[in-house]
Structure 1
Amino acid sequence: MKSSHPTIGGLLRSLRARNKWTLKQMSERSGIPLSTLSKIEHDRLSLTYDRLQQLSERLNIRMSELFAENEDVGTPAVTARRSVGRLSDAVRVDSKNYEYFYLCPELRRKRMLPSVARLRAHSLEEFGPFIRHPGEEFIYVLEGTVVLHTEFYDPLTLQQGESVYIDSNMGHAYVIGPDSQAATVMGISATDDDQSVIEALMAGEGAR
């Protein structure tokens, strides 16, 4: 009966599939001859620790990634995390251009960073330099009209109930639209490091 435990060959196949490499491309990247690599993937040969270490260096990945199974295999881990977001419990960050309320602050290492922000600037000149930070973000207009300025696109006007999804590494600025006195948005930033986003925003705007 075939073992259900992962093998080096199976893990290498999964790694190659995740990166969409052909067997030849994997051979060229790893320095392992094509015929040898084929035997390893079919569990007819194995690799010593030294060869595995050499393989990770040649592929420029951590050793742990070599032993990471395909995400489709098995049942995803359940963290059972839950946090209710209330403005009264939010972390308030006061900056020149926004009044931020970061929700669910008790959760660390979040994959998403939810917030509500009240805009202050009425023009790009008043806003100042663009903001940039790691990750991607989704913005939904809760109140008023918002104009999004970015370094690669023409200004985009968003009405109440409209939204936008952008690459946060791209310089950007949200300002109050000319027909509104105030504007409020809900934002969700997706990042591997929630703290780095807050630090970048605070550094970029002289936040308190």
Structure 2
Amino acid sequence: MVTPVPTLGVLLRKLRSRHGWTLKQMSENSGIPLSTLSKIEHDRLTLTYDKLYQVSQRLGIPISELFAETGQDTAPTVTARRSLGDIDQALHVETPNYDYYFLCTELRRKRMIPVITKIRAKTSEEFGELVHHPGEEFIYVLQGSIVVNTEFYDPVVLAAGQSIYIDSSMGHAYLAAEGCNEAEVLGVMSSGGDDLQESLMSIHDAHGGQRNGVAPGAVRTVPQ
């Protein structure tokens, strides 16, 4: 039996049901106009990642909860869990600039949001304003080539096999490079409220380990 592919509309509708909200209450709590929310729930409209993050902040829940299917354990402590990513079963969110394919949506309380993105916009004018959202992100080019525009740096061109790691609160935009009709990248975005690295390192510290020769709790300076 094939599991139905989730949609953003279905997941938001289930989220509203879990909280017992009417459509109007969901609109008031999320800041999404009632007519817009209705279109999203019926899969006639979608939202970009930065807008979804704003919604998660208004609702007071991690953004990963927006991409979580129901029926999963909500306990914050989970061990030995795993999820197989399959683009055919990913949550597809289409926008004028990107096609997002959010992976592993059955896991709740993820500390990272893995997503495959197809990039179509080719100019800054076509893309519009740079986007900002808390956290950090890693982008690896799978196919084609992209131009990375950021608020404080000159544009950089990345080809297949190259990557970039940025502070997501800095304005940024990803464009298809000249001669590339559509590029495909793998992105991993972290929530601004989750200190993933320190959480993982604390496990190592608890067993008296050291961080690449640095005592637990110390800050290691990496040469630039």
**TM-score band (shorter)?**
0.5 to 0.7
Match in the other structure for 1:145: 145
Alignment partners' CA distance in 1, 2:130 and 2:180: 22
Shift of 1:79: 1.2
Bigger relative contact order, structure 1 or 2 (CA pairs below 8 A, ≥6 apart)? 1
**Is the Cα contact below 8 Å between 1:97 and 1:127 reproduced in 2?**
yes
Q: Report the 3-state secondary structure (helix = DSSP H, G, I; strand = E; otherwise coil) of the residue aligned with 1:169.
A: coil
Alignment partners' CA distance in 1, 2:161 and 2:187: 13
Identity of aligned residues (%): 53
Q: Deviations over 1:86-124 (max 9, x none)?
A: 011110111111000000001111111101000010011
- Say if 2:125 is the partner of 1:125: yes
Shift of 1:138: 0.3
Match in the other structure for 1:90: 90
Q: Which runs of 5+ in 2 are unaligned?
A: 1-76, 195-224
**Is the Cα contact below 8 Å between 1:111 and 1:192 reproduced in 2?**
no
Aligned length: 118
Q: 1:127 corresponds to which letter in structure 2? A: F
**Is the Cα contact below 8 Å between 1:109 and 1:192 reproduced in 2?**
no
1:110-121 equivalent positions in 2, closer than 5 A: 110-121=110-121
Alignment partners' CA distance in 2, 1:164 and 1:192: 18
Query: How large is the Cα RMSD of the aligned pairs?
Result: 1.6
Query: Where does structure 1 differ by over 4 angstroms across 4 or more consecutive aligned residues?
Result: none
Alignment partners' CA distance in 2, 1:190 and 1:110: 9
Match in the other structure for 1:43: none
Shift of 1:179: 2.3
Shift of 1:78: 6.3
Match in the other structure for 1:180: 180
Q: 1:90 corresponds to which letter in structure 2? A: A
Shift of 1:189: 0.5
Alignment partners' CA distance in 2, 1:118 and 1:192: 24
Alignment partners' CA distance in 2, 1:153 and 1:182: 23
Alignment partners' CA distance in 2, 1:114 and 1:168: 15
Shift of 1:193: 6.3
Alignment partners' CA distance in 1, 2:85 and 2:173: 25
Q: Which runs of 5+ in 1 are unaligned?
A: 1-76, 195-208
* Structure exhibiting the larger radius of gyration computed from Cα positions: 1
| TM-score, normalisation: structure 2 | 0.51
Q: 2:158 corresponds to which letter in structure 1? A: L
Alignment partners' CA distance in 2, 1:115 and 1:83: 13
Cα distance, 1:166–1:90 mapped onto 2, change above 3 Å: same
Q: Report the 3-state secondary structure (helix = DSSP H, G, I; strand = E; otherwise coil) of the residue aligned with 1:125.
A: helix
